[in-house]
């Protein structure tokens, strides 16, 4: 069997093992995103062309809307952890999203559009962290990237069909944008029905201890998680709203229909690459895949600022979709390595809140740069920050090999074991030697001190049956 055939067999086997909740939540996201993406590409055009809103106000609306979404993700993620309930938040969140489609159709000046977008993003804040917790509860340590990538693919698939349906609807209703907003309510309502009828929340064991809110203490976080949160925030400071991409495509001469089609290509790319990106993350590590996504973003944003010919957009939008595929599901898979399922709502929500603050600032700064300098400045700004985040990620992040195995070996050796445990100590020694080889960033002197210390402890623990009183010297 060829290597390609073997990979296809593994992929098919994993598809067959997808839990029901994961599959149904994928369908729910498909219909909801179909509804959202029916209107998302035409909202900035609706604001500027119909309501005659300025570009900085468009950026402000998107920034506030996304900030509300992500701040509420932390709040409701924490509350869902407190009650250990997920589904009720997810249902309420998708319901608010459906209602917002009706509200935006009734808007005749931009503050009402802002209110509609806030309602929509508040719904997203209600559902996102609890939904991700349900997904996490249906994963294993070996398939986290695959599950989150699979869900992202369904979400992106809805984003593929949404704009296409919007084009068809606009054609049938003779470009009555307001009516298109009302029609978008239908798939959103289907998503709610699927969610209520088919998603079942796992029963939790009865808690006898007092319920408490999960508290995040920075000093107690794993170093790798701290670095990841810092890098994510830095990147988000340049990750302005996609509305700027759509407006720039319009400025380069694309018609409204072609702008929507370019956006469809972006979502097709997400759909195609999201699940494979999750699989690769499970195999080679989330850090490498996430870093590649940051680099893709930086390159794409640079060329968005550089190009003056609209033909390049048909290349850039699909490549831009690879960035989302390599970062969205992968980021949640990576965070889940450092948290428990019971506290996942809080940590997922905190991550979204942190990046939301950056996104809000990025959208506001992007709007100012667009108006005061030129549109290209918005994209150069995002490209520079993304590239900086990518480089710092590699500088600050220690080697992927865990140092826990080595530390555990040191502690076991320092406690002392009799001869019957020599096999265990040999395994620890082998693991330690492997760790030394992979810790390329450490100096030779550092390795020499550690090795001598470990040999001393190992020799004592193997030669004496009684407990040894050794002192751990950690440089």
For the ranges 13-17, 246-250, 429-433, 447-451, the one whose mean pLDDT is highest: 246-250
Question: Given pLDDT bands bounded at 50, 70 and 90, which one contains residue 59?
Answer: confident
Q: Is 93:126 a contact under the CB 8 Å cutoff?
A: yes
Instruction: List, in order, residues 6 or more apart from 196 with CB less than 8 Å away.
Output: 91
pLDDT at 262 over 60: yes
The token pair that represents 153 in the structure block: 């693919």
Question: Given pLDDT bands bounded at 50, 70 and 90, which one contains residue 101?
Answer: very high
pLDDT at 357 over 80: yes
Instruction: List, in order, residues 6 or more apart from 357 with CB less than 8 Å away.
Output: 67, 70, 71, 233, 236
> What proportion of the chain, given as a percentage, has pLDDT over 70?
79
d(CA 50, CA 20) in angstroms, rounded, equals 44
What is the predicted pLDDT for the residue at 24? 93
- The residue whose two tokens read 């990620």 is 393
3-state helix, strand, coil in the chain (%, to 5): 80, 0, 20
pLDDT at 413 over 70: no
What is the predicted pLDDT for the residue at 13? 52
What is the predicted pLDDT for the residue at 410? 38
d(CA 233, CA 290) in angstroms, rounded, equals 14
- The residue whose two tokens read 């950690």 is 474
Q: Which residue has the higher pLDDT, 422 or 312?
A: 312
Please state the separation of Cα 412 from the chain's center in Å: 38
State residue 193 phi and psi, 5-degree precision: -65, -45
The answer to which of 203-217, 240-254, 373-387, 419-433 has the lowest mean pLDDT is: 419-433
What is the predicted pLDDT for the residue at 230? 94
The pLDDT tens digits of the residues spanning 113-171 come to 999 999 999 999 899 888 988 988 888 877 878 888 888 888 888 888 988 888 888 88
State residue 217 phi and psi, 5-degree precision: -110, 120
pLDDT at 233 over 90: yes
Q: Which residue has the higher pLDDT, 15 or 31?
A: 31
Mean pLDDT of the chain, nearest integer: 79
Q: Which residue has the higher pLDDT, 50 or 435?
A: 50
What is the full DSSP assignment across 123-190? HHHHHHHHHHHHHHHT--TTTHHHHHHHHHHHHHHHHHHHHHHHHHHHHHTTS-HHHHHHHTHHHHHH
What is the predicted pLDDT for the residue at 436? 43
d(CA 31, CA 384) in angstroms, rounded, equals 35
Q: Is 432:409 a contact under the CB 8 Å cutoff?
A: yes
Question: Given pLDDT bands bounded at 50, 70 and 90, which one contains residue 264?
Answer: confident
Instruction: Tally DSSP H helices, then E strands, for the chain.
Output: 19, 0
Superfamily of domain 12-203+220-396: MFS general substrate transporter like domains (1.20.1250.20)
Q: Which residue has the higher pLDDT, 427 or 387?
A: 387
What is the full DSSP assignment across 94-118? HHHHHHHHHHHHT--SHHHHHHHHH
Q: Which residue has the higher pLDDT, 321 or 218?
A: 321
> What proportion of the chain, given as a percentage, has pLDDT over 90?
30
The pLDDT tens digits of the residues spanning 167-218 come to 888 888 877 888 888 999 999 999 999 999 999 887 766 555 667 777 877 8
d(CA 346, CA 83) in angstroms, rounded, equals 12
Please state the separation of Cα 256 from the chain's center in Å: 29
d(CA 449, CA 259) in angstroms, rounded, equals 61
What is the predicted pLDDT for the residue at 399? 59
What is the predicted pLDDT for the residue at 346? 86
Q: Which residue has the higher pLDDT, 471 or 414?
A: 414
């Amino acid at each position: 069997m060829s290597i390609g055939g073997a990979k296809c067999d593994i992929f098919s086997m994993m598809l067959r093992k997808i839990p029901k909740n994961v599959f149904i939540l994928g369908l729910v996201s498909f219909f909801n995103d179909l509804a959202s993406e029916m209107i998302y590409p035409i909202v900035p055009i609706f604001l500027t062309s119909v309501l005659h809103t300025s570009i900085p106000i468009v950026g402000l609306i998107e920034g506030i809307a996304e900030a509300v979404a992500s701040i509420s993700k932390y709040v409701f993620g924490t509350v869902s952890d407190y009650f250990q309930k997920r589904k009720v938040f997810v249902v309420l969140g998708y319901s608010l999203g459906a209602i917002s489609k009706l509200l935006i159709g009734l808007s005749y000046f931009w503050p009402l559009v802002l209110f509609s977008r806030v309602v929509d993003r508040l719904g997203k804040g209600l559902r996102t962290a609890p939904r991700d917790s349900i997904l996490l509860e249906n994963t294993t340590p070996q398939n986290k990237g695959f599950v989150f990538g699979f869900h992202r693919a369904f979400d992106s698939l809805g984003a593929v069909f949404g704009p296409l349906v919007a084009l068809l609807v606009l054609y049938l209703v003779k470009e009555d944008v307001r009516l298109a907003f009302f029609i978008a309510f239908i798939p959103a309502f289907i998503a709610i029905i699927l969610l209520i009828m088919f998603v079942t929340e796992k029963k939790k064991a009865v808690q006898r201890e007092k319920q408490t809110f999960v508290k995040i203490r920075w000093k107690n976080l794993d170093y790798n998680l701290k670095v990841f949160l810092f890098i994510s925030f830095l990147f988000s400071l340049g990750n302005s709203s996609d509305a700027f991409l759509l407006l720039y495509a319009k400025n380069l001469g694309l018609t409204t229909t072609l702008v929507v089609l370019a956006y469809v290509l972006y979502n097709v790319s997400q759909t195609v690459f999201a699940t494979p990106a999750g699989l690769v993350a499970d195999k080679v590590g989330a850090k490498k895949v996430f870093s590649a996504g940051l680099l893709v973003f930086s390159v794409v944003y640079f060329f968005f600022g550089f190009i003056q010919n609209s033909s390049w957009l048909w290349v850039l939008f699909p490549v831009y979709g690879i960035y989302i595929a390599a970062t969205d599901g992968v980021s949640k898979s990576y965070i889940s390595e450092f948290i428990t399922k019971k506290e996942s709502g809080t940590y997922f929500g905190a991550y979204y809140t942190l990046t939301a603050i950056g996104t809000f600032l990025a959208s506001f700064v992007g709007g100012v740069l667009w108006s005061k300098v030129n549109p290209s400045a918005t994209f150069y700004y995002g490209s520079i920050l993304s590239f900086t985040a990518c480089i710092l990620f590699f500088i600050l992040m220690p080697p992927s090999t865990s140092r826990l195995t080595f530390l555990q070996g040191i502690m076991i050796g320092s406690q002392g074991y009799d001869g019957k445990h020599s096999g265990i100590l040999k395994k620890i020694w082998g693991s330690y030697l492997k760790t030394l080889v992979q810790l390329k960033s450490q100096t030779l002197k550092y390795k020499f001190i550690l090795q001598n210390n470990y040999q001393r402890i190992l020799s004592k623990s193997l030669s004496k049956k009684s407990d040894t009183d050794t002192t751990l010297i950690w440089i």
